[in-house]
Amino acid sequence: MAARRTAGLIFRGFRVNIQRSEGLLAGQRRYTPIREESSIRQRTMQAPRQTHAAPLGRAVGDRPVPVITMDAVEKHVTAVRARALAFAQALRKPPFHPETVHRLRTHLRRLQAYAEFLQRPRIAARLAACVTWLSDLRTLYVFQQFLRRRGASVHDRSRMDAAVREEEWAVARAKYPEAIRTRVAGLSVSRMRRPSAFLTERLASLSQDRAARLDAALRGLSPEATRKELHRLRLLIKSLRYQEEIAFEAGRGNSQTVAALKRLQRTLGDYCDRDQFRRLAKTMDLACRSEMKTEYRRYRQRARAAIRKLGPPQASLIALR
């Protein structure tokens, strides 16, 4: 039931955003963005949303049309860039703090999503490479914490601690933190800016584009979705979520859609983590490898069940009526 509710929220959010954008472009009603909050999390947890009218331009005749402004979005992205740079500067010399690495990757993903939203593929690719450089270290951190919570054997935890230290020094020797700092420091939000007409068209078509991409991804899945298919779907869901957050900052997104995408991303992420745990346990010959295999199968069933319940967008929309 939770997965079906998630599906309904995702596609209902897509449909509402499309209808809202069409009405705005036709000048049928006023555009009312949300008052800026300190973060996306505070917004999505807020009670009924407060809206305030934005300035309106004049179309031919007397019909008002919305003026698309990205001030709130750019202010938010500038803050994300500043935090990403601060986290990158904290990675000076091992040992690193796991939470610092995690937050750095998250903020890099948000910057990448913003570049994709503005259709800046070269910038997005450079940011994606930064995320990849820290992927193995992030996986080891998560598995290390998992083994500690589970009370794994001293042998398994010792081997994992050694693997973490080795990867931290490998990251340091490759000078990835310095490269990330250079790329983030050289990223200019103002130079990435697009004209207002581009933003108007992009926001108007974003929901429909997302729905089409998700529809195509779901239809391309095998009856029993494979590991690679679920991994690709998870990355797509993550990208859709971050872009929906950008639209939300611009007053065009939907907090319920953001929450629904986040839940689905978490379900697929739990499965992908167990897949990595299973592989690491086998490669490192850990005593918990049999347990990890069982854990992996259980989470694979959950991920597949969530996708089956999700169904195609059209079916989800019909079920809501």
Q: What is the pLDDT of residues 99-121, one digit of tens each?
A: 999 999 999 999 999 999 999 99
Could you tell me which residue, 294 or 11, shows the higher pLDDT?
Answer: 294
pTM above 0.85, yes or no: no
The stretch 287-296 carries a mean pLDDT of 96
The stretch 231-236 carries a mean pLDDT of 94
pLDDT-based confidence at residue 303 (cuts at 50, 70, 90): very high
**Total Cβ atoms within 10 A of residue 222:** 8
For residue 35, what is the DSSP state?
Answer: P
The stretch 215-242 carries a mean pLDDT of 91
Q: Is the peptide bond before 177 cis (omega within 30 degrees of 0)?
A: no
Q: What percent of the chain has pLDDT over 90?
A: 59
Residue 60 burial (CB < 10 Å; 0-12/13-18/19+)?
exposed
Cβ atoms of 224 and 13 within 8 Å: the answer is: no
254-283 pLDDT, tens digit each:
888 889 899 999 999 999 999 999 999 999
